[in-house]
A and B are shown apart, each in its own frame.
Chain A
Amino acid sequence: MARMVTIRRVVVSTAAAWLFGFLIFFPILWMILTSFKTELDAFATPPSFLFFHWTTENYATVQERSDYIHHAINSILIAGLSTLIAMLIAVPAAWSMAFAPTKRTKDILLWMLSTKMMPPVGVLVPIYLIYRDFGLLDSRAGLIFILCLGNLPIVVWMLFTYFKEIPKDILEAARMDGATIGRELIYVLTPMAIPGLASTMLLNFILAWNEAFWTLNLSTLEAAPLTVFIASYSSPEGLFWAKLSAASTLAIAPVLVLGWFSQRQLVRGLTFGAVK
């Protein structure tokens, strides 16, 4: 009897998990389906789910009108390098806060997070003027810098919470054996925190990849990433849903693939320290 209940529970929870997963994935699925519709089908009411005239003409139009590769390379460089630099700064910062806290550590952490509480548009004009004077407008370096700064508080916070889970004694043991801080960081801390580091990196990469405010406002042509590419397909006059969906599908494709391959690390990282 107990066995029956268990099986039923497994079936129900599996079905619920699949349903929940499907609900979360549905907007993305709908976008992908819309990208294969004609503009008229995309706007049709009631909408058809699968039985419509399938076409790849939207992808052809998007390829013809925009330089996808140029935007994709910019996105990869900007998101990748801003993540890398943020990690280089955040790992030592989080280490010192987790393992050598001072009286003000908590305040510093909170102060760092508080910078995320201001809407970015509030500092748009000052940043724009600074970028203009330093010649950073429409440059990859400028976008890498601002995205790195913007994501640093979250990265430091995430790494801090992961590092807090690691027993101090292990690091002390390494120190007793004569390890320097650098060796301690690289050979002891890093291997233990790999799931946390990986998920932080991936989350930071996704945040940088999706960031639309600064990338739209500070880039024009040369540094324009995929967010600018998507924004060029929305229109107030005329039908555009299918083409916009095709552009969006192309824009999320790389990060979707990356997420797919690193999902094991991501899940491990996100549940790291959940069970003691």
Chain B
Amino acid sequence: MKLFAGALLGAVSLLAATPSIAQTTLTIATVNNGDMIRMQALAGDFSAKNPDITVKWVTLEENVLRQRVTTDIATKGGQFDVLTIGTYEVPIWAKKNWLIPLDNLGADYDVADLLPKIRDAVSVSGKLYAAPFYGESSMMMYRTDLFQKAGLTMPEKPTWDFVTDAAKKLTDKSAGVYGICLRGKAGWGENMALLTAMSNSFGARWFDEQWHPQFDKPEWKKTLSTYVDLMKQAGPPGASSNGFNENLALFNAGKCAMWIDATVAASFVTDPKASTVADKVGFALAPNAGLGKNANWLWAWNLAIPAGSKKVEAAEKFIAWATGKDYAKLVASKDGWANVPPGTRTSLYQNPEYLKVAPFAKLTLASIDAADANKPSVQPVPYVGVQYAAIPEFQGIGTSVGQQFSAALSGGTTVDAALAAAQSLTEREMTRAGYIK
């Protein structure tokens, strides 16, 4: 009897321990940006629709994540099933066969609805290797009250000459107001994002068709001297250590008359809870030099599946959920339309409810449309990418060049010396990497 009772108890506990459906656990690596944190909070909706899939998150700082994910994917460690990666990584990793092409996102995913420029940026040979979660460009944000006071009108497509003149007129150092705030902190994704996009508008390029660096050309000199002169005369003190967050704080505190940076900042500077100038902000396209290219970049955070993942089907389901059309509706129902991840789908920019709460929507779209990752500059280039060149060596080279340019801004070196140093270090690295024969 005892034996029978024991066997029964064992069988019951064994049954209780076995889940009714086989559970798949997805490990998702992501960055700590507002839209990603919201996605984590809303993941309950995905779990409700897919009870057999459990989602676990690894949130890391952007650079830590980049290093962590690169190590894992290069060694096929298989620690992650879905990765959050930028447009810089997508073409490089796709060519190395590190990513799985996203061919099976479902019949209702509507790939054609993705913004063409963003879709191009995450596709290689016509195949989608990552699904954009949110996209951004850069644009001009300015203080309408200060412009009005100075009797200035911001054109919809400002030129660098106009911006330079306006910045000088609007600077009132005694009142702590500076004409323009621009990134100065060294880094390939910091000051070099701005300066590379700016150089495109002046007709400069990183490399010619044979991968020879072009910092010794007049276009780069024009770019860097315009930037340094502008910032020295009309920029805030200590600008060489300012990145996105520092400039955001300055602008929100009312200390900048103009700020050129990521379109995603538009929602921060118009948020009355975070900004003291929320109702006094206007938007325009990033400046140009009359050559047909604006100084704006193109970037998207995307979800991709590493080649080492053994849970491809579940990962595809998750990506289709997070980047699909219904996700926008889900965010809108919980947090309002203003919080829907921007810059990925055409349908969002046709939605009257979104357009009503996002006064910057049209300019965001126009800025994204104006950037072309395949033809970033006026002159032909051998690389893909607007504010970067999508080659593995760029992170290192871009940061070294950024340090030279940051030093030129802080007065540690001259514009000519910084350009000469940039030229020689880039040539050395590109020769070492085998691009220059």
- Which chain A positions have C-beta within 8 A of B169? none
A220 touches B33 (CB 8 A): no
In the assembled complex, how far is the CB of residue A257 from the closest CB belonging to chain B, in whole angstroms?
Answer: 27
B274 touches A240 (CB 8 A): no
A43-B249, A124-B71 given; A235·B60 CB < 8 A: no
- Which chain A positions have C-beta within 8 A of B219? none
Asked whether any CB of chain B lies closer than 8 Å to the CB of A129, the reply is: yes
Closest partner residue, chain A, to B56 (CB atom): A221
Which of B64, B250, B264 is most buried by chain A, counting CB atoms within 10 A of its CB? Answer: B64
- B217-247 contacts to A, CB under 8 A, are 243-245
- A104-144 contacts to B, CB under 8 A, are 124-125, 128-129, 132, 137-138
Instruction: Tell which of A24-32, A95-103, A180-188, A225-233 binds the partner.
Output: A225-233
Asked whether any CB of chain B lies closer than 8 Å to the CB of A63, the reply is: no
Asked whether any CB of chain A lies closer than 8 Å to the CB of B302, the reply is: no
Asked whether any CB of chain B lies closer than 8 Å to the CB of A238, the reply is: yes
Q: Which of A232, A234, A237, A239 contacts B274 (CB 8 A)?
A: A239
Asked whether any CB of chain A lies closer than 8 Å to the CB of B151, the reply is: no
A237-B264, A238-B245, A239-B274 given; A132·B58 CB < 8 A: no
B252 touches A40 (CB 8 A): yes
A132 touches B64 (CB 8 A): no
B32 touches A240 (CB 8 A): yes
Q: How many angstroms from the CA of A240 to the CA of B74 in the assembled complex?
A: 31
A236 touches B62 (CB 8 A): yes
Q: How many angstroms from the CA of A232 to the CA of B243 in the assembled complex?
A: 19
A238 touches B79 (CB 8 A): no
Asked whether any CB of chain A lies closer than 8 Å to the CB of B164, the reply is: no
A232 touches B253 (CB 8 A): no
- Which chain A positions have C-beta within 8 A of B76? 132
- Which chain B positions have C-beta within 8 A of A231? 60-61, 64
- Which chain B positions have C-beta within 8 A of A138? 79
- Interface size of B by CB at 8 A reads 38
The B interface is mostly helix, strand or loop, or mixed, namely mixed
Q: How many angstroms from the CA of A233 to the CA of B67 in the assembled complex?
A: 17
Closest partner residue, chain A, to B301 (CB atom): A237
Asked whether any CB of chain B lies closer than 8 Å to the CB of A56, the reply is: no
In the assembled complex, how far is the CB of residue A34 from the closest CB belonging to chain B, in whole angstroms?
Answer: 14
- B51-88 contacts to A, CB under 8 A, are 56, 58-62, 64, 67-68, 71-72, 74-80
In the assembled complex, how far is the CB of residue A57 from the closest CB belonging to chain B, in whole angstroms?
Answer: 12
In the assembled complex, how far is the CB of residue B43 from the closest CB belonging to chain A, in whole angstroms?
Answer: 12
- B20-59 contacts to A, CB under 8 A, are 27, 31-34, 37, 40, 56, 58-59
B74 touches A233 (CB 8 A): no
Q: How many angstroms from the CA of A176 to the CA of B78 in the assembled complex?
A: 59
A220 touches B60 (CB 8 A): no
In the assembled complex, how far is the CB of residue B88 from the closest CB belonging to chain A, in whole angstroms?
Answer: 13
Interface range for A: 20 to 34
Asked whether any CB of chain A lies closer than 8 Å to the CB of B158, the reply is: no
- Which chain B positions have C-beta within 8 A of A124? 71
- A185-233 contacts to B, CB under 8 A, are 216-217, 220-221, 224, 228, 231-233
A235 touches B249 (CB 8 A): no
Asked whether any CB of chain A lies closer than 8 Å to the CB of B189, the reply is: yes
A216 touches B68 (CB 8 A): yes
Asked whether any CB of chain A lies closer than 8 Å to the CB of B268, the reply is: yes
Asked whether any CB of chain A lies closer than 8 Å to the CB of B295, the reply is: no
A238 touches B33 (CB 8 A): yes
Q: How many angstroms from the CA of A175 to the CA of B249 in the assembled complex?
A: 70
Closest partner residue, chain B, to A243 (CB atom): B32
- B69-116 contacts to A, CB under 8 A, are 71-72, 74-80
Asked whether any CB of chain B lies closer than 8 Å to the CB of A276, the reply is: no
Closest partner residue, chain A, to B65 (CB atom): A231
Asked whether any CB of chain A lies closer than 8 Å to the CB of B248, the reply is: yes
B79 touches A137 (CB 8 A): yes
- A47-93 contacts to B, CB under 8 A, are 65
A45 touches B253 (CB 8 A): yes
B62 touches A39 (CB 8 A): no
- Which chain B positions have C-beta within 8 A of A224? 58
- Which chain A positions have C-beta within 8 A of B62? 235-236
B64 touches A220 (CB 8 A): no
Q: How many angstroms from the CA of A132 to the CA of B27 in the assembled complex?
A: 16
In the assembled complex, how far is the CB of residue A43 from the closest CB belonging to chain B, in whole angstroms?
Answer: 4
Q: How many angstroms from the CA of A43 to the CA of B253 in the assembled complex?
A: 10
A232 touches B249 (CB 8 A): no
In the assembled complex, how far is the CB of residue B159 from the closest CB belonging to chain A, in whole angstroms?
Answer: 28
A65-B37, A125-B75, A221-B56 given; A235·B61 CB < 8 A: yes
Which of A124, A125, A137, A220 is most buried by chain B, counting CB atoms within 10 A of its CB? Answer: A220
Q: Which of B37, B58, B59, B244 contacts A236 (CB 8 A)?
A: B244
B77 touches A239 (CB 8 A): no
Closest partner residue, chain A, to B136 (CB atom): A237
- Which chain A positions have C-beta within 8 A of B58? 220-221, 224, 228, 232
Asked whether any CB of chain A lies closer than 8 Å to the CB of B262, the reply is: yes
Q: How many angstroms from the CA of A273 to the CA of B3 in the assembled complex?
A: 68
In the assembled complex, how far is the CB of residue B309 from the closest CB belonging to chain A, in whole angstroms?
Answer: 13
A234 touches B32 (CB 8 A): yes
Closest partner residue, chain A, to B268 (CB atom): A238
Q: How many angstroms from the CA of A239 to the CA of B31 in the assembled complex?
A: 14
B79 touches A239 (CB 8 A): no
Closest partner residue, chain B, to A39 (CB atom): B274
- Which chain B positions have C-beta within 8 A of A125? 71, 74-75
Q: How many angstroms from the CA of A64 to the CA of B406 in the assembled complex?
A: 39
In the assembled complex, how far is the CB of residue A215 from the closest CB belonging to chain B, in whole angstroms?
Answer: 11
- Which chain B positions have C-beta within 8 A of A237? 33-34, 244-245, 262, 264
Q: How many angstroms from the CA of A125 to the CA of B78 in the assembled complex?
A: 14
- Which chain B positions have C-beta within 8 A of A232? 32, 58-61
B34 touches A128 (CB 8 A): no
In the assembled complex, how far is the CB of residue A18 from the closest CB belonging to chain B, in whole angstroms?
Answer: 31
Q: How many angstroms from the CA of A221 to the CA of B58 in the assembled complex?
A: 7
Asked whether any CB of chain B lies closer than 8 Å to the CB of A2, the reply is: no
- Other A-B pairs beyond A137-B79, A228-B60, A233-B32, 5, CB < 8 Å: A216-B60, A234-B61, A236-B245, A238-B245, A238-B248
Show 8 residue pairs from A and B whose CB-CB distance is below 8 angstroms, ordered by the A residue. A43-B249, A45-B253, A128-B75, A217-B68, A232-B59, A232-B60, A235-B33, A238-B34
